[in-house]
Structure formats: structure tokens, C-alpha cells
Chain A
Amino acid sequence: KQEVTQIPAALSVPEGENLVLNCSFTDSAIYNLQWFRQDPGKGLTSLLLIQSSQREQTSGRLNASLDKSSGRSTLYIAASQPGDSATYLCALLYHVPYKYIFGTGTRLKVLA
């Protein structure tokens, strides 16, 4: 069964701290992995997408890595800010059968 797990479910850190969010998956036959941010009561905003053949992607203070052999992806946030407070979701696109599977998310709170 294709499962995606995000641990921890919630995280609270002081402003300025570097942090890592984890996404684990059981089936590595993926097309790509996408990280999203969701603010309370809002939709999903795409942060980074890593193709199956790639190892990492970077955008500003965000860096996402993909290790298919271990079934893990990490989202690294440098110098966290209160504005980073949100829920972070990872989603994997599988092609056999074709579907996206989402993790349940990590709820991040950055304290000023």
C-alpha cells in the first residue's frame, strides 16, 4: 500500500531557527514529489517540486531533498520567520496507478 507519513504532526520553534520537516513514503515508484504550504482556512500553495530523477530543489530559504532509496524527503527552512507559520504538506505523484497521495502535514508555528 502506498502511504505517506509526515512527522512531527506539529512543531513550535523560536524565530531564526533552522528547521527540517520530514516526509516518508513506502513506494518509491514516483514521478515527482511536491511540497505545499497551507495557511489556516486557505488553499494549497506550491513551494517546491522535485522530479523523480532529481535529488533536491531550492527556492530562497527553502531547500527540499529527495532520497528514493530510503523513501524520504526533507524540507529545510533556513532562518525561520513568524510568517513561515503554516501547515506544510508533501504529495507524491505515482504513475502505477496514476494518483497523488498526500501526507497529513506538519503544523509549524514560529514564535517571534
Chain B
Amino acid sequence: NAGVTQTPKFRVLKTGQSMTLLCAQDMNHEYMYWYRQDPGMGLRLIHYSVGEGTTAKGEVPDGYNVSRLKKQNFLLGLESAAPSQTSVYFCASSYFPRADSYNEQFFGPGTRLTVL
């Protein structure tokens, strides 16, 4: 099993350009998440999905859109990139969380994005 994979691994954009980050998981997880990681800020949740066809806003959703057309894929889009979106983006997935269950979250390797 590949676990959680992300493409691309690195990308450089100019201000105003658009791009899509792809996350795929092969563990049949219901939940998928997109985070960004910035120095001194820790990981912050951008958007998440609780199942195919559903999305929800996280802590820092502005400037991003997401889609989950298939259970195994979760796409993160930047319509008009800004320098403030320079960051490392992580995708994660998990089963539906339940009380007293092993609600482990699995992470992809990350995408390092620079917006000039």
C-alpha cells in the first residue's frame, strides 16, 4: 500500500497563477484533510472532507478551494496564488473518528510551494 501520496512535491508559482495539488490515499479512509505548515505556526487546517462529495472549511480556508469527487482523492486548488501562500502543504487521511477508537491520522510527504 502506498498510503497517502501527494503530487507535485515542489512547485514555484508567480503571483496570480493557479494550480491544483492532488492527494490520494489507498486506505479507504472516509476523512481527508489539507494542512499548511509555516515556521512558528505549526500545522493549520485549510479544508477537510468527511466523505465523497463533501467538503468543509478549516481554520485558514481563504484563497483555497477543494473538491472530493472520488473517495480516494482530495484536491486543493489555488485560483490566484499570493506570496502569503508560500508554505509546505500536507494532506492527511483517517477513518471516521469515534470515541475510544484508534483515530490515527496518516500524512503524505508534503508539497513545498513557493509563490514569487
Contact = CB atoms under 8 A, between A and B. Distances in A.
Contact of B33 (A36, A45, A52, A100): A100
Main secondary structure of the interface of B (DSSP, over half): loop
A71 B97 CA distance: 21
Interface in A19-74: 31-32, 34, 36, 41-46, 49, 51-53
A99 B97 contact: no
Most buried by B among A42, A43, A99, A102: A43
Interface in B1-57: 33, 35, 40-45, 48
A75 interface: no
Interface residues of A, number: 25
A43 B107 contact: yes
A49 B100 contact: no
Given A31-B99, A43-B108, A52-B100, A103 B45 contact: no
Main secondary structure of the interface of A (DSSP, over half): strand
A34 B42 contact: no
B110 A42 contact: yes
Contacts of A105: 42
B36 to A, nearest CB: 11
Given A44-B90, A100-B45, A104-B40, A91 B105 contact: yes
A91 B59 CA distance: 15
A95 B97 CA distance: 8
